[in-house]
A and B are shown apart, each in its own frame.
Chain A
Amino acid sequence: EPEVTQTPSHQVTQMGQEVILRCVPISNHLYFYWYRQILGQKVEFLVSFYNNEISEKSEIFDDQFSVERPDGSNFTLKIRSTKLEDSAMYFCASSERGFGDGYTFGSGTRLTVV
């Protein structure tokens, strides 16, 4: 069964450093998403991406966050200057048609900011 692949599985970074989380969505999917889950809290939406642009973002997704699809297969989330409160599990998801379609999630990247 097709999978969404995320790398790395765990990343530790110093506060203030930049991190890039990587995702390879399912090949025929057109809609891409990032979600995060702070330990013990709900999974929360960050951003959706379609046709090479952001289609929606949450209040969490401020100027320190950015997303990019640098080639035909990768989808990245960049955090420019990490803060302690950015520590969370970050999930990438993709969907073939968006509305009305189920989402396939990756296994996540655990980001720890120290």
Chain B
Amino acid sequence: KQEVTQIPAALSVPEGENLVLNCSFTDSAIYNLQWFRQDPGKGLTSLLLIQSSQREQTSGRLNASLDKSSGRSTLYIAASQPGDSATYLCAVHGSGNTGKLIFGQGTTLQVKP
């Protein structure tokens, strides 16, 4: 059974710092991995989608990497800003005849001005 874990659970950094959020999954047989942002009480905003054949994806100050064989992904945020404060979720789309995403519990990021 696929399990997704995110470390750390919470992170507080000063504005301008570069940071890395970690996601690990137990079953390397995945179609893709998606990173989401969730603001308090709000929905999920897709940030980056990495297919199983890809190593990384970039969007602006965000870079996500995927090492499928070791069951790990990282989300790198460059030059963090207070507006980046949110919970970041990773979710894997398992292989096989399933359409569901398995989510981690998230990393809550606070960027202090």
Chain A residues engaging chain B, CB cutoff 8 angstroms: 6, 31, 33, 35, 41-45, 48, 50, 55-56, 58, 89, 91, 95, 98-100, 102-108, 110
Looking at chain B's contact residues, is the secondary structure mostly helix, strand, loop, or mixed?
strand
User: A98 CA to B89 CA in the complex, in Å?
Assistant: 20
A residues in contact with B36, CB < 8 Å: 105
Which residues of B does A touch, CB under 8 Å?
A: 31-32, 34, 36, 41-46, 49, 51, 89, 91, 93, 97-106
| Known contacts A43-B91, A102-B34, A102-B49; A33/B100 CB under 8 A | yes
B104 is contacted by which of A42, A56, A102 (Cβ under 8 Å)? A42
A103-B46, A105-B44, A107-B43 known; A45+B31 contact, CB < 8 A:
no
In the bound complex, residues from chain A placing their C-beta under 8 Å from that of B43 are 6, 91, 105-108
- A98 near B99: Cβ-Cβ < 8 Å: yes
